[in-house]
């Protein structure tokens, strides 16, 4: 029995999502990590951008599923899954020395996910 190569859909659409989520959790595991930007609430700006990119990668991958080909439904599912990832990330951060869990970070994550879906819908409009 020959070993089957991964399907192009997985490598092209889902692997970037998994790699990016792994990057998010790898950064979250860094003790005492601080924002590279130096202004008040800069970490919230980072969260919006970080989860905005996750939203674009995720909606792109979800669009490969037959039941989620509609941009609006894929966008709503993306925000739900992304918020779940964000909540998991915040819970995980609460166990890392020098890191804290913040509901406002989760709100910023959800804002980033939502903005990315609005941009996605705007680009895909007929």
3-class secondary structure, 92: helix
111-122 pLDDT, tens digit each: 999 999 999 999
State how far the Cα of 51 lies from the Cα of 106, in Å rounded to an integer.
10
pLDDT of the residue at 71: 87
Q: Output phi, psi for 38, to 5 deg.
A: -120, 65
pLDDT by residue (tens digit) across 36-59?
889 999 999 999 999 999 999 999
The pLDDT of residue 40: 93
In the block, residue with structure tokens 């819970």: 91
Tokens standing for residue 25: 């959790």
Given a cut of 50, the residues of the chain with pLDDT beneath it are none
pLDDT of residue 31: 96
- The model's pTM is 0.91
């Amino acid at each position: 029995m020959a070993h089957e190569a991964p399907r192009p859909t997985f490598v092209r659409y889902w692997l970037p999502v998994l790699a990016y989520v792994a990057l998010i959790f790898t950064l979250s595991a860094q003790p005492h990590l601080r924002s590279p930007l130096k202004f008040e609430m800069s970490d919230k700006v980072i969260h919006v951008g970080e989860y905005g990119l996750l939203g674009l990668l995720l909606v792109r991958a979800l669009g490969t599923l037959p039941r989620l080909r509609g941009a609006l439904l894929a966008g709503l599912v993306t925000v739900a899954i992304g918020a779940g990832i964000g909540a998991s990330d915040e819970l995980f951060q609460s166990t890392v020395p020098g890191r804290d869990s913040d509901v406002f970070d989760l709100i910023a994550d959800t804002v980033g996910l939502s903005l990315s879906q609005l941009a996605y819908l705007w680009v895909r409009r007929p």
